[in-house]
Amino acid sequence: MAEQNCLVANDWICGEYLRSRGHELAEATVQHIWITVASVLIGLVVAFPLALLARRGRHFAAPVLGLTTVLYTVPSLAMFSLLLPLFGLSAALVVTGLVLYSLTILVRNILAGLEAVPQEAREAAEGMGYGPVRLLWEVEVPLALPALMAGLRIATVSTVALTTVGSLVGKGGLGNLIEDALPSFFKAQVLTAAVLCVLLAVAADLLLLGVQRLLTPWTRIRTPAGASAGAGIAKTEAV
Protein backbone atom coordinates (compact mmCIF):
# COMPACT_ATOMS: atom_id res chain seq x y z
CA MET A 1 0.00 0.00 0.00
CA ALA A 2 2.83 2.36 0.88
CA GLU A 3 4.48 1.70 -2.47
CA GLN A 4 1.22 2.47 -4.29
CA ASN A 5 0.84 5.67 -2.27
CA CYS A 6 4.22 6.88 -3.55
CA LEU A 7 2.56 7.51 -6.92
CA VAL A 8 -0.16 9.57 -5.26
CA ALA A 9 2.40 11.40 -3.12
CA ASN A 10 4.54 11.99 -6.23
CA ASP A 11 7.74 10.79 -4.56
CA TRP A 12 11.08 10.93 -6.36
CA ILE A 13 11.77 7.25 -5.67
CA CYS A 14 8.80 4.98 -6.31
CA GLY A 15 9.00 1.22 -6.77
CA GLU A 16 5.43 1.03 -8.01
CA TYR A 17 6.31 3.31 -10.91
CA LEU A 18 9.11 0.96 -11.99
CA ARG A 19 6.77 -2.04 -11.87
CA SER A 20 3.82 -0.41 -13.59
CA ARG A 21 5.80 1.39 -16.30
CA GLY A 22 8.49 -1.21 -16.97
CA HIS A 23 7.42 -1.79 -20.58
CA GLU A 24 7.38 1.93 -21.30
CA LEU A 25 10.83 2.36 -19.78
CA ALA A 26 12.20 -0.56 -21.80
CA GLU A 27 10.85 0.83 -25.08
CA ALA A 28 12.28 4.28 -24.40
CA THR A 29 15.66 2.81 -23.44
CA VAL A 30 15.84 0.68 -26.60
CA GLN A 31 14.98 3.68 -28.77
CA HIS A 32 17.61 5.75 -26.96
CA ILE A 33 20.27 3.10 -27.54
CA TRP A 34 19.64 2.53 -31.23
CA ILE A 35 19.49 6.26 -32.02
CA THR A 36 22.79 6.75 -30.17
CA VAL A 37 24.51 3.80 -31.83
CA ALA A 38 23.30 4.75 -35.32
CA SER A 39 24.37 8.37 -34.86
CA VAL A 40 27.85 7.53 -33.59
CA LEU A 41 28.54 4.89 -36.25
CA ILE A 42 27.40 7.12 -39.10
CA GLY A 43 29.35 10.00 -37.58
CA LEU A 44 32.49 7.86 -37.51
CA VAL A 45 32.02 6.85 -41.15
CA VAL A 46 31.64 10.51 -42.17
CA ALA A 47 34.38 11.85 -39.88
CA PHE A 48 37.14 9.51 -41.07
CA PRO A 49 37.35 10.75 -44.68
CA LEU A 50 36.99 14.33 -43.44
CA ALA A 51 39.98 13.80 -41.14
CA LEU A 52 41.98 12.34 -44.03
CA LEU A 53 41.06 15.40 -46.11
CA ALA A 54 42.05 17.78 -43.31
CA ARG A 55 45.41 16.01 -43.00
CA ARG A 56 46.34 16.96 -46.56
CA GLY A 57 47.25 20.50 -45.51
CA ARG A 58 46.10 23.77 -44.02
CA HIS A 59 44.04 24.65 -47.08
CA PHE A 60 41.84 21.65 -46.32
CA ALA A 61 42.14 21.55 -42.53
CA ALA A 62 40.85 25.09 -41.95
CA PRO A 63 37.51 24.69 -43.76
CA VAL A 64 36.90 21.14 -42.48
CA LEU A 65 37.60 21.97 -38.83
CA GLY A 66 35.85 25.30 -39.13
CA LEU A 67 32.70 23.79 -40.61
CA THR A 68 32.44 21.01 -38.02
CA THR A 69 32.96 23.55 -35.22
CA VAL A 70 30.24 25.82 -36.59
CA LEU A 71 27.84 22.87 -36.84
CA TYR A 72 28.49 22.03 -33.19
CA THR A 73 27.52 25.56 -32.11
CA VAL A 74 24.13 25.51 -33.85
CA PRO A 75 21.35 25.20 -31.22
CA SER A 76 19.48 21.91 -31.42
CA LEU A 77 16.13 23.61 -32.01
CA ALA A 78 17.56 25.52 -34.97
CA MET A 79 19.31 22.39 -36.28
CA PHE A 80 16.14 20.34 -36.24
CA SER A 81 14.20 23.18 -37.86
CA LEU A 82 16.70 23.34 -40.71
CA LEU A 83 16.61 19.58 -41.24
CA LEU A 84 12.83 19.26 -40.85
CA PRO A 85 11.97 19.92 -44.54
CA LEU A 86 14.35 17.12 -45.57
CA PHE A 87 13.44 14.40 -43.07
CA GLY A 88 10.11 15.36 -41.53
CA LEU A 89 9.22 14.32 -37.99
CA SER A 90 11.22 11.09 -38.06
CA ALA A 91 14.08 9.38 -36.30
CA ALA A 92 16.26 10.21 -39.33
CA LEU A 93 15.92 13.88 -38.38
CA VAL A 94 17.33 13.23 -34.91
CA VAL A 95 20.07 10.88 -36.16
CA THR A 96 21.24 13.37 -38.79
CA GLY A 97 21.41 16.18 -36.25
CA LEU A 98 23.38 14.03 -33.81
CA VAL A 99 25.77 12.96 -36.58
CA LEU A 100 26.50 16.60 -37.39
CA TYR A 101 27.12 17.35 -33.71
CA SER A 102 29.52 14.41 -33.35
CA LEU A 103 31.75 15.45 -36.25
CA THR A 104 33.72 18.14 -34.44
CA ILE A 105 34.83 15.66 -31.76
CA LEU A 106 35.49 12.71 -34.05
CA VAL A 107 37.29 14.62 -36.83
CA ARG A 108 39.65 16.39 -34.42
CA ASN A 109 40.55 13.22 -32.53
CA ILE A 110 41.08 11.14 -35.66
CA LEU A 111 43.22 13.90 -37.13
CA ALA A 112 45.23 14.23 -33.90
CA GLY A 113 45.81 10.47 -33.80
CA LEU A 114 47.01 10.29 -37.42
CA GLU A 115 49.31 13.29 -36.99
CA ALA A 116 50.82 11.72 -33.86
CA VAL A 117 52.04 8.65 -35.77
CA PRO A 118 55.88 8.75 -35.67
CA GLN A 119 57.46 9.65 -38.98
CA GLU A 120 59.96 6.84 -38.43
CA ALA A 121 57.12 4.31 -38.51
CA ARG A 122 55.89 5.70 -41.82
CA GLU A 123 59.35 5.69 -43.35
CA ALA A 124 60.01 2.13 -42.18
CA ALA A 125 56.74 0.94 -43.72
CA GLU A 126 57.43 2.75 -46.98
CA GLY A 127 60.88 1.17 -47.04
CA MET A 128 59.21 -2.23 -46.80
CA GLY A 129 57.13 -1.45 -49.87
CA TYR A 130 53.87 -0.35 -48.23
CA GLY A 131 51.63 1.69 -50.51
CA PRO A 132 49.49 4.62 -49.25
CA VAL A 133 46.39 2.49 -48.56
CA ARG A 134 48.26 -0.32 -46.82
CA LEU A 135 50.31 2.23 -44.87
CA LEU A 136 47.12 3.89 -43.66
CA TRP A 137 45.25 0.77 -42.55
CA GLU A 138 48.12 -1.37 -41.28
CA VAL A 139 50.36 1.25 -39.70
CA GLU A 140 48.77 4.65 -39.18
CA VAL A 141 45.26 3.63 -38.07
CA PRO A 142 46.48 1.07 -35.47
CA LEU A 143 48.90 3.63 -34.02
CA ALA A 144 46.17 6.30 -34.02
CA LEU A 145 43.64 4.04 -32.26
CA PRO A 146 44.16 5.46 -28.73
CA ALA A 147 43.26 8.98 -29.87
CA LEU A 148 40.51 7.70 -32.15
CA MET A 149 38.92 5.65 -29.36
CA ALA A 150 39.19 8.56 -26.95
CA GLY A 151 37.24 10.71 -29.39
CA LEU A 152 34.72 7.92 -29.94
CA ARG A 153 34.13 7.63 -26.20
CA ILE A 154 33.59 11.38 -25.82
CA ALA A 155 31.30 11.50 -28.84
CA THR A 156 29.27 8.54 -27.57
CA VAL A 157 28.74 9.94 -24.09
CA SER A 158 27.84 13.32 -25.60
CA THR A 159 25.38 11.69 -28.00
CA VAL A 160 23.69 9.77 -25.18
CA ALA A 161 22.95 13.12 -23.55
CA LEU A 162 21.97 14.91 -26.77
CA THR A 163 19.59 12.14 -27.83
CA THR A 164 17.14 13.40 -25.22
CA VAL A 165 16.76 16.58 -27.30
CA GLY A 166 15.04 14.41 -29.91
CA SER A 167 11.97 14.59 -27.67
CA LEU A 168 11.25 17.86 -29.53
CA VAL A 169 10.01 15.68 -32.41
CA GLY A 170 8.93 12.71 -30.32
CA LYS A 171 12.08 10.66 -31.04
CA GLY A 172 14.17 11.29 -27.96
CA GLY A 173 14.18 7.90 -26.24
CA LEU A 174 14.33 8.55 -22.53
CA GLY A 175 13.99 12.25 -23.28
CA ASN A 176 10.38 11.60 -24.28
CA LEU A 177 9.65 10.40 -20.76
CA ILE A 178 11.27 13.48 -19.24
CA GLU A 179 9.30 15.82 -21.51
CA ASP A 180 6.03 14.00 -20.83
CA ALA A 181 6.60 14.22 -17.07
CA LEU A 182 7.49 17.92 -16.92
CA PRO A 183 3.98 19.46 -17.27
CA SER A 184 2.75 17.58 -14.19
CA PHE A 185 6.24 17.35 -12.69
CA PHE A 186 6.00 13.58 -12.29
CA LYS A 187 9.08 13.19 -10.10
CA ALA A 188 9.55 9.42 -10.31
CA GLN A 189 9.47 9.49 -14.12
CA VAL A 190 11.87 12.42 -14.41
CA LEU A 191 14.37 10.88 -11.98
CA THR A 192 14.15 7.37 -13.47
CA ALA A 193 14.68 8.59 -17.05
CA ALA A 194 17.56 10.82 -15.99
CA VAL A 195 19.27 8.03 -14.05
CA LEU A 196 18.87 5.64 -16.98
CA CYS A 197 20.53 8.21 -19.27
CA VAL A 198 23.49 8.44 -16.91
CA LEU A 199 23.74 4.66 -16.64
CA LEU A 200 23.68 4.32 -20.44
CA ALA A 201 26.47 6.87 -20.77
CA VAL A 202 28.62 5.13 -18.14
CA ALA A 203 27.97 1.68 -19.64
CA ALA A 204 28.82 2.88 -23.15
CA ASP A 205 32.02 4.53 -21.94
CA LEU A 206 33.14 1.41 -20.06
CA LEU A 207 32.29 -0.80 -23.05
CA LEU A 208 34.34 1.35 -25.42
CA LEU A 209 37.18 1.48 -22.90
CA GLY A 210 37.22 -2.31 -22.86
CA VAL A 211 37.25 -2.42 -26.67
CA GLN A 212 40.11 0.07 -26.68
CA ARG A 213 42.15 -2.08 -24.30
CA LEU A 214 41.55 -5.13 -26.48
CA LEU A 215 42.55 -3.33 -29.67
CA THR A 216 45.60 -1.59 -28.22
CA PRO A 217 47.36 -4.11 -25.95
CA TRP A 218 50.71 -2.41 -26.52
CA THR A 219 49.55 0.68 -24.60
CA ARG A 220 49.45 -1.43 -21.41
CA ILE A 221 53.04 -2.64 -21.73
CA ARG A 222 55.37 -0.91 -19.31
CA THR A 223 59.01 -1.55 -20.19
CA PRO A 224 61.50 -0.67 -17.43
CA ALA A 225 64.05 1.96 -18.41
CA GLY A 226 66.94 -0.36 -17.58
CA ALA A 227 65.51 -3.08 -19.78
CA SER A 228 65.11 -0.65 -22.67
CA ALA A 229 68.68 0.53 -22.27
CA GLY A 230 69.92 -3.04 -22.09
CA ALA A 231 68.05 -3.95 -25.23
CA GLY A 232 69.55 -0.94 -27.00
CA ILE A 233 73.08 -1.92 -25.95
CA ALA A 234 72.52 -5.49 -27.05
CA LYS A 235 71.39 -4.33 -30.47
CA THR A 236 74.40 -2.05 -30.76
CA GLU A 237 76.79 -4.83 -29.86
CA ALA A 238 75.09 -7.17 -32.30
CA VAL A 239 75.61 -4.67 -35.09
Q: Mean per-residue pLDDT for 48-66?
A: 88
Reference 20, options 33, 6, 34, 31; nearest CA is: 6
The structure's pTM equals: 0.82
**Mean pLDDT over the full length of the chain:** 82
Q: Mean per-residue pLDDT for 120-125?
A: 84
- How far apart CA 12 and CA 14 sit, in angstroms, is 6
Confidence band of 48 (pLDDT split at 50, 70, 90): very high
Out of 3.30.429.10, 1.10.150.120, 1.10.1740.10, 1.10.3720.10, the CATH code matching 15-217 is 1.10.3720.10
Q: Is the pLDDT of residue 228 over 70?
A: no
Angle at the Cα of 96 from the Cα atoms of 93 and 99, rounded to 5 degrees: 150
Higher pLDDT, 228 or 40: 40
